[in-house]
Structures are given as structure tokens and as C-alpha cells.
Amino acid sequence: MEKVGVIGAGAMGSALLERLKLAGAQVIAYDPVPQALAAARALGAESAPSAEAVGRAATIIDVVVRSDQDMLDCMMGGEGLLEGVRPGSLILLHSTILPQTTRKVADAARRRGVDVIDACMVGVPKVVRAGDLSFLVGGPAELVERARPHLLRMGRQLLHMGPLGAGNVAKLIKNLVTGSETLIIHEAIQIGQAAGIPYRDALEMMRQVYSGTILNRWQESFDPSGAGPMPRAGHSVFVKDIPLVAELARHCGLDLPITQGLAAAGKRLVKAKAS
């Protein structure tokens, strides 16, 4: 069994450590925050003084840091992981970062005989602890298969999205959809409230009449053959309903950029379909 290294023992990293402890994995961990490193030790991990030291000890390494710059720093900065990692090791980048950052790290690692894949996480810490984490993975198939047993000790499913960086892209567009829903609901309840509907009543109304996400039936609105991404339905909503909502918002004196942008985008989409 490969020895596991974990860099980053914050909220998500510590949740992964809990899953690895349940699986009986041998783990060495590093975090620059002393309290986080102490929490990793409490979960049974051996502590390391640096990311470089993790690289010297482990053969499969999970990197769970917050930002693109954090990733570059912990990988290629002073006492970074690539200073100590051994040839033949596999590094899994779990952070929500740009695919360009992943490829930059992978290029530097490749020069040292080390492999890198992106394995982005879909789930919050409580989801991880419950064993329901999903991984969106990018990289060569043989490396994904090497990582599969390890990843499935921490989560319930692995979706191989394509080449290196595809996991990053998948996580970003998934978060785009999730975040956009919250933002447009925020604008919708502002319109309702300005027109006399208390926002809590508007939210409860939408909950009760909600017909479910389009993703549960995407084949009805998008071409399942893969011939193109243009929506096949929604002409009336795009041409009439959303522009009416945008007009209502203006009448209410509201500046709602997402609603106005959607009205314009819907009209462009219908025009493009007709051409």
C-alpha cells in the first residue's frame, strides 16, 4: 500500500484525513498553521515540518490548498513539495484552481519524474466525513486508475472528465451553475418584494412550485447526440417572459444586472437559433 501524504489540513483536508484514518491508511501531513497540523496528528497522521518533507516520505500526495498562488507556493516555493518528492510519485491536486495552474505544476513535476493529476472535490466537509464526496478528475487514464483506489477510500465516486485540467474546468463550471442560482434568486426576490411580495413568501412559493433542476432532464433541452450545445427549448421564456421580468424590474426602480443580462442573452440566443 502506498504511503499517503496530505498537504493542507484545514476544513477539507482534515475531513479527508478522517476518511483516510477510517481506511487504515498511513499518512504524513503538513500544514503551515500549527493548529491545523495538531488536528492532523489527532487524526493519526504523522506530522512533517514542510511540504518538502512530505514529498520525501510519501508516494501518493493529496494537495488541499485554497488558491492558485497557494498551490504554486506549496509546490514550487521554498521547501516546496517538488523539492523533496521522489520520482514515480503521484500528486493529486484537489483545489479549485485554473487548469493553467495545474498544467504549470505538472510541467515542473514532470521534469523530476513525478506525475500530477487534478482531482477536484465536490462536497463540503460534512459530506466528506459522511463518505459522499465526489472527485472530478483530469489526467491520463493510467494515472487516474492508479489514483482510483486511493480516491475511493475518501469519497464515493470518481468522474474522469478528460485530460489534465479537465477536472478543474468541471469544478469551475459546476460552481458557476450553483453560484448563479443563488445570485438570480437574490434578484428575483428583490423584484417580488418591490412589487409587494415579502421575500420569504416568494422563496416559499418557488419551493412549492419548483419543477426540479433542468440537469435532471437535460436531454429534453440540449441535444444528447453531442452535435452542439444550443438549447432546443425555451423560446417563449427567452423572448417574452425574461424580458418582461427585466421590464418589471426597471418599473420597480431596481438595478439588477443579472436579470437584464439574461434578457439580452435570451434574445441573442433565439436570434442565433433562427439564423
pLDDT digits (tens, 9 = 90+) for 23-32: 999 999 999 9
Instruction: Find out whether 266 and 258 touch, Cβ atoms under 8 Å.
Output: no
What percent of the chain shows pLDDT beyond 90?
90
Residues 143, 192, single domain; the answer is: no
Residues 210, 239, single domain; the answer is: yes
> Mean pLDDT, the chain, as a whole number?
96
Catalytic residue positions, numbered:
171
Distance CA 139, CA 170 (A): 13
Residues 98, 162, single domain; the answer is: yes
Phi and psi at residue 78, in whole multiples of 5°?
A: -60, 135
Whether residue 1 has pLDDT greater than 80: no
Q: What is the reported pLDDT for 275?
A: 77
pLDDT digits (tens, 9 = 90+) for 38-89: 999 999 999 999 999 999 999 999 999 999 999 999 999 999 999 999 999 9
Domain final position from 169, 187, 210: 169
Residues 121, 257, single domain; the answer is: no
Strand partners, 5: 28, 61
Domain final position from 169, 194, 212: 169
Q: Which CATH number belongs to the domain containing residue 64 in this structure?
A: 3.40.50.720
Q: Considering only residues 169 and 275, tell me which one the structure prediction assigns the higher pLDDT.
A: 169
Residues 160, 187, single domain; the answer is: no
Question: How far separated are the first and last CA of the chain, in Å rounded?
Answer: 59
Per-residue pLDDT band for 234 (boundaries 50, 70, 90) equals low
DSSP 8-state class, residue 132: -
| 172 SS3 class | helix
Whether residue 267 has pLDDT greater than 90: no
Q: What is the reported pLDDT for 233?
A: 62
Domain that holds residue 229: 178-274
Q: What is the reported pLDDT for 258?
A: 97
Q: What is the reported pLDDT for 168?
A: 98
Residues 61, 90, single domain; the answer is: yes
Residues 80, 153, single domain; the answer is: yes
Residues 206, 165, single domain; the answer is: no
Residues 118, 248, single domain; the answer is: no
Residues 201, 224, single domain; the answer is: yes
Instruction: Find out whether 94 and 121 touch, Cβ atoms under 8 Å.
Output: yes
Residues 162, 258, single domain; the answer is: no
Q: What is the reported pLDDT for 2?
A: 87
Domain count, the chain: 2
pLDDT digits (tens, 9 = 90+) for 98-157: 999 999 999 999 999 999 999 999 999 999 999 999 999 999 999 999 999 999 999 999
Residues 224, 132, single domain; the answer is: no
Contacts of 171 (CB under 8 A, 6+ apart): 96, 120, 121, 122, 136
Domain final position from 118, 143, 169: 169
Instruction: Find out whether 138 and 168 touch, Cβ atoms under 8 Å.
Output: yes
| 86 SS3 class | coil
Average the pLDDT over 212-237 and give the result: 87
Q: What is the reported pLDDT for 201?
A: 98
